[in-house]
Amino acid sequence: MSPRDLVSVILIMAVFGSAYVVGKLGVDHFPPFVFAALRSAILAAALIPLFRFKLPDRSAWPALAGFCLAMGTAVYATMYLALMLTDTVAPIIIGTQLSVPFAVLLGRLVLKEPVGRATWAAILAAFSGVVVIAFDPAMVGDLAALGAIAVSAFCYALATMFARALRGVGAFAMNGWMAVSAVLPLGLLSLVFEDGQWRAVATAGWLQWGVLLHSALVVSLIGHVWMFSLYRRYAVATVIPFYVLMPVFGVAMSQLIFPESPTWQTWTGGAIVLAATYAVNRITTRDRETRVARAAS
């Protein structure tokens, strides 16, 4: 990877890590489903001129619908719910890494992809790390938040499985349909389960609107499009390992912005999760590329 692209991928991971810190600032003012709906509306408005409601081939519609529901609605609804429920952001950021072992498990169960012993061991270690965090006495009040972020991680893994069936669909179209389709269900969730939505919107200041714009445009639009450009130039195995930096940046930012003091148990569990996630990513990416190379030869 060239020095310029190395700097780029590190900056992208910092942007992705900021999503959780900025999201916490957002749900401290907006109800979580409202925040998710407004974020989707802003992203949709930015992407409509770029994809112009262009539909992929009809054969891709079921996968696109699954991706939109899992990513656009379920991931962000549960993610912002978790951030609203928690007092400590760092464990929530770490919990998002469960999406990697969840993705491997879904690949094994649904797509019948082979999983080696080393991968099984790393998956078990990742879940064990989350258990270590959950049994931290300081996290007793945040168990509901940990449960919500685990659901979010599973939904993200489900979305990646649908995305693999959409390789012929452009990034703008995928994210555009995801954003457009999420506004209504997220709004309905807010109407059913939340109150004070209009007061939150009416009283939002420059910080709250800035947080929304950052979540929609900087993280979801610029960050993902920037990352997509790297995937076009480098093998997946070259890019994937850098994802371990995302929670590192996120946790560091949370320590700077919020008065948090995670215990040694949280740090230990987090280290286990990050190391195990890195191992799962490396092993599965290497094995997948090996299978592709053998099939092509």
Residue 296: per-residue pLDDT: 63
Quick: pLDDT tens for 94-139.
888 888 888 888 888 887 878 888 888 988 998 898 888 887 777 7
DSSP 75: I
CB–CB of 237/290 below 8 Å?
A: no
Q: How buried is residue 272: exposed, middle or buried, by Cβ count under 10 Å (0-12/13-18/19+)? A: buried
Nearby residues of 297 by Cβ (< 8 Å), 6 or more positions away: none
Quick: pLDDT tens for 236-266.
667 767 777 888 888 888 888 887 777 788 8
Residue with tokens 């639009």: 221
Helical axes 76-85 vs 3-27, angle rounded to 10°:
60
What is the C-alpha to C-alpha distance for residues 226 and 95, in angstroms, rounded to an integer?
A: 25
What is the C-alpha to C-alpha distance for residues 97 and 277, in angstroms, rounded to an integer?
A: 7
Q: Where are the alpha helices (DSSP H) in 165-259?
A: 171-193, 197-203, 206-213, 224-233, 236-239, 245-257
Residue 41: per-residue pLDDT: 96
Residue 230: per-residue pLDDT: 76
Structure tokens at 273: 């999760």
What is the C-alpha to C-alpha distance for residues 267 and 94, in angstroms, rounded to an integer?
A: 10
For the chain, residues with pLDDT lower than 70 are: 1, 231-232, 235-237, 240, 287-297
Residue among 107, 126, 117 at smallest CA distance from 278: 126
- CA angle 263/19/269 to nearest 5° reads 25
What is the C-alpha to C-alpha distance for residues 148 and 20, in angstroms, rounded to an integer?
A: 14
Give the number of C-alpha atoms closer than 13 A to the C-alpha of residue 76, restricted to the C-beta side.
Answer: 35
Whole-model pTM? 0.89
